[in-house]
């Protein structure tokens, strides 16, 4: 019950009291005129007054409850406003289009299972292609998608950000997460589920994943950058420079590959 409703109820109660008082005055006059018949009328008035007293007490109790609830409501409003501010900040950082990370880039088993190779001679060593794939850990985390904020982009020097927009940079982050997820799936895929043209890449990725600099992290290769948003053009190179400067990625060279590692928020 708000203040206006409480005030309206009190006005109605006061009006009811005034009406009852007027009736009581009339009954007093009537009692003097007809003493024998005034007892029942006075009993009705007494019952009516007791009922009104109960109503007044209920109104007071309700007002007290509402008054006690005001501080809690204020705190709730403050928390909601802070949460709204956070959500607005997050919304401003998210690109307008969020492509889904592919759940699998491995070809269908029915078409990619390779025929079993004949057993090698006793004097022939097994090939590296036959080494078991690393087991995928249960609950493997998804690649980090640490978007940049408007303030971070605006704080960059103009020569660095060039014509980049917030949407372009964050869309590039989506693409990098997709590349890293695809590589992670290739690394843990059993050999029989890999197409023939994926074997060499799988071996290279597994070798890179064992490197101490990369171990346990999500990564992709420069050769993986093929769009749709991030490409190896001037815009793509500027995007990588910005993300490197803002500590979203770090780079290393392993063999002849330029390896880009996705960093998590601190």
* pLDDT at position 119: 47
65 and 156, same domain (yes or no): no
196 and 247, same domain (yes or no): yes
177 and 248, same domain (yes or no): yes
Give the C-alpha separation, 143 to 61, whole Å: 56
Residue ending a domain, among 64, 93, 122, is 93
62 and 147, same domain (yes or no): no
- pLDDT tens for the chain, residues 1 to 266: 555 665 566 677 777 777 877 777 777 776 666 555 555 666 777 777 788 888 888 888 888 888 888 899 999 999 999 999 888 877 766 666 555 554 444 444 334 334 444 444 444 343 344 455 555 555 578 899 999 988 899 999 999 988 999 999 999 999 999 999 999 999 999 988 888 888 999 999 999 999 999 999 999 999 999 989 999 999 999 999 999 999 999 999 999 999 999 999 87
User: Can you give the residue range of the structural domain that contains 198?
Assistant: 133-262
| Residue 207 lies inside a defined structural domain of this protein | yes
- In this structure, are residues 192 and 113 in contact, taking their beta carbons and an 8 Å threshold? yes
Residue 219: count other Cβ atoms within 10 Å of its Cβ. 29
Helix (H, G, I), strand (E, B) or coil at 132: coil
Q: Which residues pair with 251 in a beta bridge?
A: 260
* pLDDT at position 120: 46
| Residue 104 lies inside a defined structural domain of this protein | no
75 and 157, same domain (yes or no): no
167 and 235, same domain (yes or no): yes
- CATH assignment at residue 252: 1.10.10.1890
139 and 251, same domain (yes or no): yes
| Residue 34 lies inside a defined structural domain of this protein | yes
- In this structure, are residues 220 and 185 in contact, taking their beta carbons and an 8 Å threshold? no
Token pair 């330029």 is found at 258
* pLDDT at position 210: 93
Give CA angle at 263 (164, 224), nearest 5°. Answer: 65
167 and 230, same domain (yes or no): yes
* pLDDT at position 110: 37
77 and 191, same domain (yes or no): no
* pLDDT at position 111: 41
| Residue 63 lies inside a defined structural domain of this protein | yes
> Which burial class, exposed, middle or buried, applies to 61 when counting CB atoms under 10 A from its CB (0-12, 13-18, 19+)?
exposed
| Residue 24 lies inside a defined structural domain of this protein | yes
| Residue 114 lies inside a defined structural domain of this protein | no
CA contacts within 13 A on the Cβ side of 265:
6
76 and 143, same domain (yes or no): no
* pLDDT at position 243: 96
Residue ending a domain, among 93, 122, 146, is 93
68 and 170, same domain (yes or no): no
| Residue 229 lies inside a defined structural domain of this protein | yes
| Residue 98 lies inside a defined structural domain of this protein | no
Tally of structural domains, the chain: 2
Token pair 């917030």 is found at 166
* pLDDT at position 86: 84
């Amino acid at each position: 019950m708000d203040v206006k409703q409480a005030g309206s109820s009190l006005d109605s109660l006061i009006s009811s009291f005034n009406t009852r008082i007027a009736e009581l005055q009339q009954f007093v006059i009537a009692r003097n005129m007809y003493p024998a018949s005034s007892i029942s009328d006075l009993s009705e008035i007494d019952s009516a007054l007791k009922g009104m007293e109960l109503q007044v007490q209920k109104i007071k109790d309700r007002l007290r409850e509402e008054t006690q609830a005001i501080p809690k409501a204020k705190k709730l409003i403050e928390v909601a406003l802070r949460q709204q501010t956070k959500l607005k900040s997050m919304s401003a950082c998210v690109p307008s289009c969020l492509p889904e990370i592919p759940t699998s880039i491995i070809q269908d088993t029915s078409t990619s299972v390779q025929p079993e190779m004949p057993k090698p001679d006793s004097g022939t060593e097994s090939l590296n292609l036959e080494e078991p794939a690393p087991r995928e850990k249960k609950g493997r985390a998804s690649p980090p998608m640490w978007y940049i904020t408007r303030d971070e982009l605006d704080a960059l020097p103009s020569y660095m950000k060039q014509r980049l927009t917030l949407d372009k940079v964050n869309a590039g982050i989506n693409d990098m997460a997709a590349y890293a997820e695809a590589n992670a799936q290739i690394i843990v895929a059993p050999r029989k589920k890999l197409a023939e043209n994926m074997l060499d890449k799988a071996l290279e990725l597994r070798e890179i994943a064992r490197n101490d600099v990369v171990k346990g992290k999500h990564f992709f290769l420069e050769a993986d950058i093929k769009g749709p948003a991030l490409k190896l053009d001037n815009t793509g190179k500027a995007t990588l420079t910005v993300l490197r400067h803002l500590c979203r990625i770090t780079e290393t060279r392993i063999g002849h590959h330029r390896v880009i590692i996705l960093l998590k928020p601190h």
